[in-house]
Amino acid sequence: MLRPLIFLITIAVSTIHCGTDNKAEPYVDLTDEQKARKALDAEEYEDAAELYAQVIEDDPERYDLFPIYATALAGAGGVSLLGVVMDQLANSASASGADTGVLGMIDKIVPADATREKAEFVDQAVEVLNGIPAEVLEGAAYRVGVSLQLTIYSSVYTAMIMDLILTIDAGTVSPEALAAMTPEDAALILDAFLQAGSVGDPDSPMTQAMSQAATQIEGMEGETTADKLRNYLNGGGGSSNSQSLHQ
């Protein structure tokens, strides 16, 4: 019986020597969707986004993939839904903008090392979620999640754009950056506010803060959007307007 025992031990040792990884991995061809999922789990967001885009391009009716595709895009933009959710749980009032104002909120939700390129990814995430037809979303299992994703991504995008253009630090706008703001930048900021105030969960304090800010900016005195925004940020439009941003 020695030979079978040696044989079994040889098999066991060989198997152990190979480690605990799945031995079938080299022989399995993953689908693009599986590759995308694998990339997302590995936090390789741009790769995941590209792969999800490919899957959706091949099958445009895969609306169930839109939310996870948006997650990959937002991840490429430095936005972690888990981080936002945990931040909300830890300090929901201050993170919502309800009592700190939008500028105060920006410091909390703008991802580290934000760039224009990253902001573009987040904006794309909003665009993707907005691409789900209303009639599909109405009965979908992911309806509530998508609504909150939209709220979060559009708000973060707005915060990123504000931060990148106006160099906000501890809730204060840089006067130099405000003076140097171009009409295009001002339009970009206003559009971001308008978008963040109109998509997602209308009952969310974040959405309401964005919507209120957009309305107030549009109601300010000034010939151009940039003037209105400057007046608004300088508190020229009245204390109640500026407070919503500056508190």
Footprint of another protein (CB under 8 A): 1, 4-5, 7-8, 11-12, 15-16, 18, 20-25, 27-28, 30, 34, 37-38, 40-41, 64, 67-72, 80-82, 85-86, 90, 141-142, 144-146, 148-149
Smallest gap from residue 144 Cβ to another protein (A): 5
User: From CA 235, how far away is CA 214, in angstroms rounded?
Assistant: 15
Instruction: Report the Cα–Cα distance between both ends of the chain, in Å, rounded.
Output: 83
| Backbone dihedral angles phi then psi of residue 153, each to the nearest 5 degrees | -65, -45
Query: Which residue number, 46 or 191, has a Cβ lying nearer to another protein?
Result: 46
Smallest gap from residue 197 Cβ to another protein (A): 19
Query: Which residue number, 39 or 217, has a Cβ lying nearer to another protein?
Result: 39
Smallest gap from residue 223 Cβ to another protein (A): 42
The alpha carbons of the chain give a radius of gyration, in whole angstroms, of 24
According to DSSP, residue 111 is labeled P
Query: Which residue number, 43 or 169, has a Cβ lying nearer to another protein?
Result: 43
Smallest gap from residue 231 Cβ to another protein (A): 37
For residue 172, list its beta bridge partners.
169
In this structure, which amino acid lies at residue 118? Answer: K
Query: Which residue number, 30 or 136, has a Cβ lying nearer to another protein?
Result: 30
User: From CA 2, how far away is CA 164, in angstroms rounded?
Assistant: 73
